[in-house]
Amino acid sequence: KRIVVLISGSGSNLQAIIDAVENGQINGQVVAVISNKSDAFGLKRAENHNIEHCVINHKNYPDRESFDAQLQTSIEQFAPDIVVLAGFMRILTPGFVTHFTGKLINIHPSLLPKFKGLDTHQRALDAEEQYHGASVHFVTPELDGGPVIVQAPVAIVSGETVDSLKAKVHKVEHQIYPLAVQLLCEDKITMTNEGVHYMNEML
């Protein structure tokens, strides 16, 4: 399968996916990395692995619709089967999202449906949760609201800080994101307008 990854920053999740492709866990290839920020470190990661990469700066577009239209065109040039949002910090328009229904996935640093949106680590601490974590989900027009594919919990211990929690969550993200991409590459989980379908062997 052909995988396109969208990033805005460090790209440590991108790296985990690249590593999983290289070690054979993922039966697919990362055909392109697209960033909306020219200084995203993830672009270097792509370069280091000879993966095609480009920048589409949202600041060069008058509105979300025109940015998303360009993004869609650029992504389609790579004919992807899967489009992975890996720390891509732009809200996407419903038109873009529905165009890629079933192909578009995101990772979110919380145990969805808890703590959609930003500042999830602080909010989990403030709420005195026992567990926090990360979720990979199909993207639908509702922000952080699409069906969950894989989740991983981390325990919140006494003395936990935003930084310590963030580090723990990142660590599990690097395990579950490649796993979710693997499942999609093997057609073990699919989403259509009818809903999500898990292959029997997973149940």
Question: Could you list the active site residues?
Answer: 108
107 touches ligand GRF by CB under 6 A: yes
- Single out the residue of 76, 138, 142, 136 nearest to residue 102, CA to CA: 138
Cβ atoms of 107 and 86 within 8 Å: the answer is yes
Closest to ligand GRF by CB, 69 vs 141, is: 141
Rounded-to-10 torsion of CA 61, 64, 68, 71: 40
- Single out the residue of 198, 27, 139, 5 nearest to residue 83, CA to CA: 5
Q: Closest CB to ligand GRF belongs to which residue?
A: 87
- The rounded distance, in Å, linking the Cα atoms of 26 and 121 is 29
* The one segment of 8-16, 94-102, 124-132, 178-186 that binds ligand GRF by CB under 6 A: 8-16
- The rounded distance, in Å, linking the Cα atoms of 171 and 16 is 10
Is 81 buried (19+), middle (13-18) or exposed (0-12) by CB count in 10 A?
middle
Please list every residue from 61 through 90 that binds ligand GRF, using CB under 6 A.
86-87
> Least distance (Å) from ligand GRF to the CB of residue 27?
22
139: helix, coil or strand?
coil
Closest to ligand GRF by CB, 12 vs 36, is: 12
* The one segment of 5-13, 60-68, 75-83, 151-159 that binds ligand GRF by CB under 6 A: 5-13
Cβ atoms of 148 and 130 within 8 Å: the answer is no
Which of 12, 35, 93, 182 is close enough to bind ligand GRF by CB under 6 A?
A: 12
Please list every residue from 108 through 167 that binds ligand GRF, using CB under 6 A.
108-109, 134
User: What is the token pair recorded at 27?
Assistant: 């039966």
> Least distance (Å) from ligand GRF to the CB of residue 76?
23
Which residues sit in the known binding site?
Answer: 11-13, 64, 89-92, 106
Site residues (vs ligand GRF, CB under 6 A):
9-13, 86-87, 107-109, 134, 170, 173
Which residues sit in the known binding site for (6R)-10-formyltetrahydrofolate?
Answer: 64, 89-92, 106
